[in-house]
Amino acid sequence: MGLTQLDRRRFLGSSLCAATGTCAGMASLAKALPRVTNPRATSGDQRFEPAWSDLLTITVGPAKADIVGTTEVAIQAAVDYVARLGSGTVKILPGEYRCRNSVFLASKIRVVGSGADSVLLKDPMAKSELVEDSDWYDQEITLSSSDGFRLGDGVFLTVAKPDAGGIVNLKRTLVARDGNRFKLDRPLRKNVWISGESTCATLFPLFSGEYLEDIVIENLSFDGNRENNENLNGNYGGCIWLQDCNRVRMTDLTVRNYHGDGISWQICHDVVVERCHSHDNVDLGLHPGSGSQRPLIRNNTLERNGIGLFWCWGVKYGLAENNRIVDSVKHGMTIGHNDTDNVIRNNEIIGSGIGGILFRDPRQGKDFWANRNLVERNRIVDSGGDEGIAIDVSGQTKDVVIADNEILDTRAPAQRVGIRLGTETKNISLTNNTIKGFATPIHDLRA
């Protein structure tokens, strides 16, 4: 049977998309097809789904719930149940839920709490040195002491000396034991040798997700119990930590007191973080991580974090809008390594310890600076100490627009600077900014 003219266009369009790796063919195909007016649940169709009036909901709580419990085990059971059926909602009822491991999320689920009344709290950390070598093919470790460790615990394995077996940062779960000897849920696939001063600690994100899509997390509180836990780097953890995920929405969350980041998402695309309160976290309030495309960060309050909002490496086409960033220990916001084509708009950044907004100087490659970004209509107040800088554009940053911002210092001017442009910066447009209260409103080192 021969192809019709329409069929030929569809075939050629899809072939072009596959051959070039672009979306041009798919866009052409979509225009050629009739509009879907009555979607049905059809096996394998991931594009269209009816707007169902009711979805499966499983409740978790201390009492009168589908799954009764007050630990991450009960929440995990609900997540796994809903995930097995394809989609649905996990409703976390009021209560305090003590966590000794992450809740591992699943695709196509919604987790919703009861606001401030639903709190996930991390238990205090246990830590021990390793006393036996474990090779990369092993699935067990031996600790000097098992005090504080239980089966089911989430653990973080590290090697302090990288030359003794390679750099190691691994997250695993303890699943069996014989005295101080523990089996892990997965093989190591790295050498964890005692010559590297290897340690094991019960450190983990409270919510964790990898290689997932279509997730909603709403109306929950997370407490990292920072006083009783050591630091976990934001590339591996946080109150909430995601890796390689697509289409995630996080709204009306409180994430606090984590000895690391509040919310960290790495190589995750189309992530929305809205109306969240991230406060008193040791490192970063919000961490759109390396390679993340199109983050939407708006209407959040970020208070007393190490850095309020940290754009990591290669974060592109994002929008940070209407956020309030207060009393950051270091900078209110930083942007750097290959973070391009983003918009920073209508944010309020107050009382930052070192500076308001920093364009970092990565220096790793030919053109790794935060180019082609727009900074407009922000209000930046009282940034840094006596030599504080409200907006610091460093390195070889280029093609940046800084417009219509209100940049104020209400203290004695000291040696503070409103906007500083580094000697190698290029094509930095400064338009209609109000700058008051500084010893030097604009310090252009290129002059």
Q: Is 386 exposed, middle or buried (0-12, 13-18, 19+ CB in 10 A)?
A: exposed
Last residue of a domain, one of 153, 175, 201: 201
Pair (338, 386) in one structural domain: yes
- Whether residue 331 contacts residue 309, with contact meaning beta carbons closer than 8 Å, is answered with no
CB-based contact 225:121 (threshold 8 Å): yes
Q: Select from 143, 140, 98, 147 the least CA-distant residue to 119.
A: 98
User: Which of 186, 201, 216 marks a domain boundary?
Assistant: 201
Do 78 and 227 share a domain, yes or no?
yes
Q: Is 171 a residue whose pLDDT tops 80?
A: yes
Q: Same domain, yes or no, for 238 and 145?
A: no
Residue 417 is part of a domain; what is its CATH number?
2.160.20.10
Statement to judge: residues 220 and 358 lie in one domain:
yes
Shared domain for 165 and 238, answered yes or no, is no
84 and 141 part of one domain: no
Amino acid making up residue 116: A
The pair of structure tokens assigned to 393 is 């554009």
Average pLDDT, rounded, for the chain:
93
The whole-number pLDDT of residue 14 equals 41
Pair 306, 193 in one domain: no
Tell which residue, 414, 413, 415, has the closest CA to residue 437.
413
Q: Has residue 38 been placed in a domain?
A: no
Whole-number percent of the chain with pLDDT over 90:
85
Q: CB-based contacts of 71: which residues, under 8 Å, 6+ apart?
A: 97, 98, 99, 100
**Average pLDDT value for residue range 71-93:** 97
| Closest by CA position to 203, among listed 152, 272, 155 | 155
Give tens-digit pLDDT for 26-68.
566 667 889 999 999 999 888 888 888 888 999 999 999 999 9
Residue 167 has pLDDT above 90, yes or no: no
Any domain includes 192: yes
By CB atoms closer than 10 A (0-12, 13-18, 19+), residue 55 is: exposed
Instruction: Spell out the residues 6+ positions from residue 53 whose beta carbon is closer than 8 angstroms to its own.
Output: none
Report how far residue 436's alpha carbon sits from residue 447's, in angstroms, rounded to the nearest whole number.
22
- The pLDDT value given to residue 27: 63
- Any domain includes 3: no
What pTM value is reported for the model? 0.91
Instruction: Report the pLDDT averaged over residues 92-113.
Output: 98
Q: Return d(Cα 72, Cα 122) in angstroms, integer.
A: 10
87/105 Cα distance (integer angstroms): 12
Same domain, 169 and 148: yes
The reply to whether 222 and 101 lie within a common domain is: yes
Q: What is the pLDDT of residues 117-143, one digit of tens each?
A: 999 999 999 999 999 999 999 999 999
Domain of residue 289: give its range: 57-122+204-444
What is the domain count for the chain?
A: 2
Neighbours of 56 (CB within 10 A): 14
Q: Domain boundary at 201, 233, 256, which?
A: 201
Task: Report which of residues 359 and 33 the model is more confident about.
Answer: 359
Residue type, 6: L
Give me the CATH number covering residue 177.
2.40.30
Parallel, antiparallel or unpaired: strands 57-61 and 67-68: parallel
Q: Is pLDDT at 148 greater than 90 in this prediction?
A: yes
> Is pLDDT above 80 for 314?
yes
Indicate whether 19 belongs to any domain: no
Residues 161 and 255 in one domain: no
pLDDT of 20 above 80? no
**Same domain, yes or no: 192 and 218:** no
Residue pair 371/340 in contact (Cβ under 8 Å)? The answer is: yes
Alpha-carbon distance of 435 to 80, in angstroms, equals 54
Provide DSSP, 175-186: EEEETTEEEESS
Tell me: do 279 and 409 sit in the same domain: yes
